[in-house]
Chain A
Amino acid sequence: MDNIAGKKPALVWATHISVALLVILWLFPTVGLFVSSFRTADQISSSGWWKAMFPQEQNTMIRTASPETQQQIDGNYVIEGNLFAEEGGAAGEISAWGISSRDIAAYAPGDTADMGEDGQLTVAVNGDYRLVNSTEFSGRRGERVFLTAITPPSFTLDNYRTVLVDGQATDKMGKAFINTLTVTIPATVIPILIAAFAAYALAWMDFRGRAFLIAVIVGLLVVPLQLALIPLLSFHGAVVEWFIALVGTPMEDNARRFAEVGALGRMFGFEPGDTINSKGYLGVWAAHTGFGLPLAIYLLRNYMVGLPKDIIENARVDGATDFQIFTKIILPLSFPALASFAIFQFLWTWNDLLVALVFLIDSSGETTVMTRQIVELLGTRGGNWEILATAAFVSIAVPLTVFFFMQKYLVRGLLAGSVK
């Protein structure tokens, strides 16, 4: 049945317009950053990004070609060229120009300005200029010309080149991108596997304490991971010390540094004097696995409980073991739930800052992730929007792609995951 609003055209219109407004409101900030990432620093600071789509009037100062390029034509010295081409910028349409910063719009396009002993300058609408003088031009630099020009929208990929390939080390996102990927993939795959078995046991195996365990997992769903930071950091440190004591001898004043390395330790590639940092990929993978498990188990169990009972019981009657039932029947059937959780965990680990700060990034900065790099940029290059916007977009692009292609699973996961 139609909504009652469907019968009133005014209300239908009001609905369309308000939805359109909301969508624009929601998109506007992101689009702003996206557009900015394709503009040069000059463009960003000289006009708001929302004007980037339209031709805009800009005031610029451009120098003519240097006197070295002068030619002798009919007894006069001539320098010719195109002002827009001199700067390598996009073509534009000149509405006014001048030769002094005090009066930048003194001449109309086509006019000739008499600069006394510096010669006569003519500038056409399209930026072509001709500088003529009866005596030879001297000096090294060209004449200054002030332009008021309408330039068409222009966009550049330079920012992406800077950020990804050839920028300074602090601007570089390439390595951070790889690091983020390195954190994300194991941190997504491993919890799924562990959770799937646990979820199967909680869904289809009968044992005492099952209901209690499920309640515990529902409770752990909301435990803030802030609580886990210090205890786990100490725990990871203890593991490192234990490992060193196991495969070698620790130094007396530093239990995380080898004094001697045993045969086993040498197999791992350690040498005396090596320090093992308690921060690192192993730690961050383990932490993400632990923090992701409650949701994983909860989502998967809820899904598995809903699978048809007949199939599983028939398989049992036919003599299938639980392990076979799980791998041959449950796992393939649970694909949608597995995909849902995989997307959640991927987005969460990719976008995470806190866990990486605490468990991964050490003082060397070798293992920095993109979110950390962006926060750093916000501090050091807060005004350089072309770098910031591009860096942010590099990090946003992957989750957005995943989002748009796998939205169905994400929605399904959300619906199943919110505790009802």
Chain B
Amino acid sequence: MHPALQGLLTIAIGVGACIGYFYFSNIILDKVIFPARGQNAGRNINRANLVRPWLFLLPGLLALGLYLAYPVVETLRLSLTDRDLGGAYVGLENYRKMSGDPKFWEAMRNNAFWLLVVPAMSTAFGLLVAQLTDRIRWGSIAKSLIFMPMAISFVGAAVIWKLVYDARPLGTEQIGILNAIYLALGGDQPMNWLTIPFWNNFFLMVVLIWIQTGFAMVILSAALRGVPEETIEAAIVDGANPFQIFFRIKVPQIMGTIVVVWTTITIVVLKVFDIVFAMTNGQWETQVLANYMYDQLFRARDWGVGSAAAMVIMLLVTPILVWNVYNARKEMK
């Protein structure tokens, strides 16, 4: 069967099964198990209403449990076992092995830089664009153009930026814009930007900053609009200049949103995989955790160390996870 047909069939079966499940489970609940008839009608209605939420939630909870909650526990278990020994418990052996691997520490170092640079730059650029486009007439067009990279895949972005970084031998025409500019400004040699250890990390980060700035801009732009006019008016009356208004009045009032944007991008950074995989594949000292983990799992076939690396990512995400849950609970009260 052609996969496209198979896809259509899956939609039909999937959607049909979902609707069928919800419809019939409700009918069975109301008509068969707890019928709203006879002497127990009142009690039955109440009982049915106690069960019904779980009917609605069941498929979602099953999928979440199986595809997200269980893997967290299972990965933790795998990280403490050795596949070659038939899955025997080996304690922290995998973690010890991993911490003896220079590639792991390279990934940790690079991730630290990614975590410092990308959220900061994306948020800063996003804030800058949000503020600048706020009052100009073509601001919405400008915003939508800067937002556009959000729709482009990491892999597509990798190709786009590889062309920017392209290097041709000296004497031939440069087709990468960066080298063309570099030579025009007096550089003496075309540079292979992606193979210069340490600095190449920053050339990779540029790609993610380019993508994430749009996200930061959209959220921060909405937040800036929400800043009460009175506070700004009062500042103007007091003789504040535009920079003071921005840094002393507006930014403090949207600090909460800035934190949200920052943490959201931080999570994206921790999971960054495609960009490194497509552009350097961790060569020339550009390894990051997610790619290191992929290497361990599918190239070295070492599930133990791979799972340990995944747990490190999970560990780094946990503070943000706790913070988010805490805030969500606070908001619901």
Contact = CB atoms under 8 A, between A and B. Distances in A.
Interface of A: 1-6, 8, 11, 15-16, 18-20, 22-23, 26-30, 32-33, 36, 44-50, 178-179, 181-183, 185-186, 189-191, 193-195, 197-198, 200-202, 205-207, 210-211, 213-232, 235, 281-282, 285-287, 289-291, 293-294, 297, 321-323, 326, 347, 350-354, 357-358, 367, 371, 374-375, 378, 382, 385, 388-389, 392, 395-396, 399-400, 402-404, 407, 410-411, 414-415, 418-420
Contacts of B274: 353-354, 371
A1 B233 contact: yes
Given A22-B129, A222-B267, A392 B156 contact: yes
B116 to A, nearest CB: 19
B321 A219 contact: yes
Contacts of B293: 226
Nearest to A47: B173
Nearest to A403: B151
A26 B135 contact: no
B188 interface: no
Contacts of B64: 216-217, 220, 290, 293-294, 297
Given A19-B136, A293-B60, A389-B159, A351 B152 contact: yes
B63 A293 contact: yes
B219 A414 contact: yes
Interface string B214-255: 010011001000000100110010001110010000000000
B66 A235 contact: yes
B191 to A, nearest CB: 16
A228 B132 CA distance: 41
B321 A214 contact: no
- List the 5 closest pairs (A to B, CB-CB), nearest first: A290-B67, A351-B153, A198-B60, A403-B151, A231-B74
Contact of B241 (A4, A19, A351): A4
Contacts of A399: 151-153
Contacts of A354: 273-274, 294
B52 to A, nearest CB: 6
Nearest to B76: A227
B66 A227 contact: no
Contacts of A402: 151
24 contacts: A4-B240, A20-B142, A26-B213, A32-B177, A36-B163, A48-B180, A49-B163, A194-B63, A197-B56, A210-B53, A223-B321, A224-B270, A227-B311, A228-B75, A230-B75, A287-B67, A289-B63, A323-B23, A326-B56, A371-B153, A371-B155, A388-B159, A404-B144, A404-B148
B32 interface: no
B57 A22 contact: no
Interface of B: 3-4, 6-7, 10-11, 14-15, 18-19, 22-23, 26, 30, 49-50, 52-54, 56-57, 59-61, 63-64, 66-72, 74-75, 78, 125, 128-129, 132-136, 139, 142, 144-156, 158-164, 166, 168, 172-177, 180, 210, 213, 215, 218-219, 222, 229, 232-233, 236, 240-242, 245, 256-257, 260-261, 264, 267, 270-271, 273-274, 277-279, 290, 293-294, 297-298, 303, 306-307, 310-311, 313-314, 317, 320-321, 324-325, 327-329, 331-332
B177 A50 contact: yes
A36 to B, nearest CB: 7
B152 A207 contact: no
Contacts of B60: 194-195, 197-198, 293, 297
B68 to A, nearest CB: 5
A286 B17 CA distance: 14
A418 B260 contact: yes
A419 B324 contact: yes
Contacts of B219: 414-415, 418
Given A15-B136, A353-B277, 8 more contacts: A22-B146, A195-B60, A216-B69, A222-B320, A231-B74, A290-B64, A347-B151, A353-B154
Contacts of B134: 3
B238 to A, nearest CB: 12
Contacts of B69: 216, 220
Q: Specify which of B134, B139, B240, B274 lies most central, judged by the most chain A CB atoms within 10 Å of its CB.
A: B274
Nearest to A399: B151
Contacts of B23: 323
A183 B7 CA distance: 7
Nearest to B77: A231
Contacts of A232: 67, 71
